[in-house]
Structure 1
Amino acid sequence: MAENYDLAGYLTKCVKAQIKVVFTTLINVKKSDQQVFQRFLSLTKIANKLGMDVYGDVDGTVYEEFGLDKNNREQIMDFFIIELGLKGIRFDCGVSPEDMAKLTHNHQDIKIILNASNPAEEVAYLLSLQAKKSNLVSCWNFYPQRYTASSLSYFTEKITALKASGILSQAFVALQRSDAQGPWQHNDKLPSIEMHRDLSLDFQVRHFVALGVDDIIVSTQFLNDTELMVLTNINLHKITLNLKPAVDITSVEQKILNDQSVHFVRPDLAEYIIRSTFSRLKYHHNDIPVRHFKGKYFEKGDVVILNNNAQNYKGELQIVTKQMANDGIRNLVGHLEESEQSIVACLTPNCEFSFNLAKES
């Protein structure tokens, strides 16, 4: 935490941007360093007053530093809840599954947060110990060192397993500014998955929404007004795709693309395309003339709308997932960049989605 930063003003801005959780760390905080410790207490006091929850990252060294007995559940919870004002405690390491399971049974419903990168069997073991599931959360690591963050495939596998267990998940996104601050001296941005390291904040958040992450935490600080506005404008409850529209789309095609209520993935997934069929019901009576497309094929990432030649299928929207021939019944209305196609890969049967149309530069 920057010593001269206006915490109250900053957190007030965060609340207005619908940010609900502050994630901080107690690791390496010394009780003897009263300036840092009082700064920490000030943070939690202001955040709680604003209605925000503060989650703290701890490990076994924190127990030693603050003289906590890991077998004394009441002492531990009193320290973290009453003295520090935390609403969630993330155990990075050094605390046994048996102790964590016991800590989930607290009357204040404080969240006990696991390290999501630990073996998947840990969650099953905790549940077998009768851990209170509603107070259990699994939080991914952030990775300040380039090339060390998790792969997308491994991350997806773990998130899928957590969802199957009914455990909430958390993961980190990173700001793309060189002056953004992290908790460690070495700071090459702090994402949870490597593919996010150099991608926009907007994409990282939308991708995690699509992957089904429950709590998305910005790992580096401090958010400026532009970044806060980016977060405010993201729909956290629906998959959204940033589309570069074709220059010659018609007003009807633009209406279909901009319609926020009509696009759902058809449940019988096709091999070459993702079909959104409700738009053809809503816009079937509109004229959608054939528009010449010079390409012989549509490519992965192209978005098309079926034209008048498609007859009763006219108005259907499709996202191309595999190269296919242009047979004259589809109009190209836009293209999704490669990173956006990672979000397309998250679209499942009956899933709702919508587009954000990029403005022409």
Structure 2
Amino acid sequence: MTMRKLGLSIYPDHSDFEKNKAYLELGHKYGFSRIFMSMLEVQGSVEETKAKYQKIVDVGNKLGYQTIIDVSPRIFDQLHISYDDLEFFHDLHVAGIRLDQGFDGATEAMLSYNKYGLIIELNMSNNVDYLNNIISYQANTSHIYGCHNFYPQVGTALPYDFFMKCSERFRKFNIHTAAFVASQVGNMGPWNVNDGLPTLEMDRRLPIEVQTKHLFASNMIDDVIIGNAYASEEELKAMSSLNRYQVEFHINFVPDVNEIEKTVALTPQHFRRGDMNNLVIRSTMPRVTYKEVPNKPHDNEQEFQRGDVLVGNDGFGIYKNELQIVLQPHSEARKNKIGSISPDELILLDFIKPWSKFKFSE
């Protein structure tokens, strides 16, 4: 598993240099370190194109970004670039190129040995034997990355199950992976339709940090990139402050939550018991750690709903101060409702398997 990174997208053909520079500086402030750069449409001569892209890539390089540029066979033709010589991209100072369309396997394998050491990034959003084929040609896998597509048109992004199947093909070979989330304010992409630019359709309208948590929780994605530009500073900040390595639920506490319950929720490293059940996710260590601390009943008469967070009260004997997250509605007077998970984050409950680690933030 590599370190997980956050990324931004830049569209030099639809934007001005100063705005892009300011965006990269803002991203750098919040720890973003990858750039997806679109080169699916080119205006002007080879030299003009080179100068324009190089200028913004150099800004990113100075700030410590890794830039991968998205290209199609049409661009190779338009700019008279040969697959045997990637000097044009080396001159742009990018770290790699993303092949928006695939070739025959042998070509990609050969490209992975290019003399400039450029990363060759493959399109992950197809559930076909593409990667196996490339690897069977003895590709240089350390220089091969995978990156999903994004989908500007509402309703056309990937369903979750299909996304998982496509991603598993890359995970199997330990290939570095990336996917996209959508800013809710950015309105720039590669085309003139822009309903957000996510990889997953179910993520399209969610807050950006929830989309990011979702992709990381799948355990299939190393780098999460914002597909559309420009995301707001609030969005960059929200993404930068989330936990990239375990699910951290945002909890909304009830008014009567007490000190011990807040401590039980916010202090320990929670993990789900290995012997799981379908009713609740149980984090049982707090009942040991805080077994001496009293906890009076409150908010214990209603029917608890999926995503409610409960703590055992004084009436619950050995289970006092055990923390639980509700999966199926039920009633139990020996448990206090201390809060609930944000509705947008209920999709993350499915990722809490036996022994999964998780946390809460207020």
Matched, 1:19 2:32: yes
Matched, 1:266 2:279: no
Matched, 1:221 2:229: yes
Partners of 2:178 and 2:223 within 8 A in 1: yes
Give the stretch that moved more between structures: 224-233 or 46-55: 224-233
Partners of 1:145 and 1:186 within 8 A in 2: yes
Matched residue of 1:216: which SS? strand
Alpha carbons of structure 1 residues 283 and 135: separation in structure 2 relative to 1, 3 Å: farther
Alignment of 1:122-161 (within 5 A): 122-161=130-169
Amino acid at match of 2:68: Y
Matched residue of 1:93: which SS? coil
- Correspondence for 1:188: 195
Residues 301-322 of structure 1, C-alpha deviations (whole Å, 9 max, x = no match) = 1111122222222222111112
In 1, the alpha carbon distance for the partners of 2:131 and 2:276 equals 32
- Correspondence for 2:346: 341
In 2, the alpha carbon distance for the partners of 1:153 and 1:56 equals 28
Amino acid at match of 1:46: V
Give the stretch that moved more between structures: 37-46 or 250-259: 37-46
Matched, 1:311 2:317: yes
Residues 273-309 of structure 1, C-alpha deviations (whole Å, 9 max, x = no match) = 11112222222222122224232x3222111112222
Partners of 1:256 and 1:279 within 8 A in 2: yes
- Correspondence for 2:290: 283
Alpha carbons of structure 1 residues 34 and 109: separation in structure 2 relative to 1, 3 Å: closer
Amino acid at match of 1:116: M
**CA apart distance, 1:203:** 1.2
The correspondence for 1:330, drawn from 327, 330, 335, is 335
Alignment of 1:196-275 (within 5 A): 196-212=203-219, 213-259=221-267, 261-275=268-282
Partners of 1:31 and 1:65 within 8 A in 2: no
- Correspondence for 2:67: 54
Q: Which has the higher contact order (CA 8 A, sep 6+)?
A: 2
Partners of 1:59 and 1:94 within 8 A in 2: no
Partners of 1:30 and 1:37 within 8 A in 2: no
The correspondence for 1:97, drawn from 88, 101, 105, is 105
> Normalising by the residue count of structure 1, what TM-score does the alignment of the two structures yield?
0.90
**CA apart distance, 1:106:** 4.4
In 2, the alpha carbon distance for the partners of 1:300 and 1:159 equals 29
The runs of 4+ residues in structure 1 deviating greater than 4 Å are: 33-37, 106-109
Alpha carbons of structure 1 residues 275 and 165: separation in structure 2 relative to 1, 3 Å: farther
Partners of 2:99 and 2:121 within 8 A in 1: yes
In 1, the alpha carbon distance for the partners of 2:82 and 2:141 equals 24
In 2, the alpha carbon distance for the partners of 1:316 and 1:109 equals 53
**CA apart distance, 1:230:** 1.6
Partners of 1:262 and 1:279 within 8 A in 2: no
Matched residue of 1:142: which SS? coil
**CA apart distance, 1:4:** 5.4
**CA apart distance, 1:62:** 1.6
Q: Structure 1 stretches of 5 or more lacking a match?
A: none
In 1, the alpha carbon distance for the partners of 2:337 and 2:289 equals 19
Matched, 1:293 2:300: yes
- Correspondence for 2:76: 63
Matched residue of 1:89: which SS? strand
Partners of 1:54 and 1:86 within 8 A in 2: yes
**CA apart distance, 1:38:** 2.8
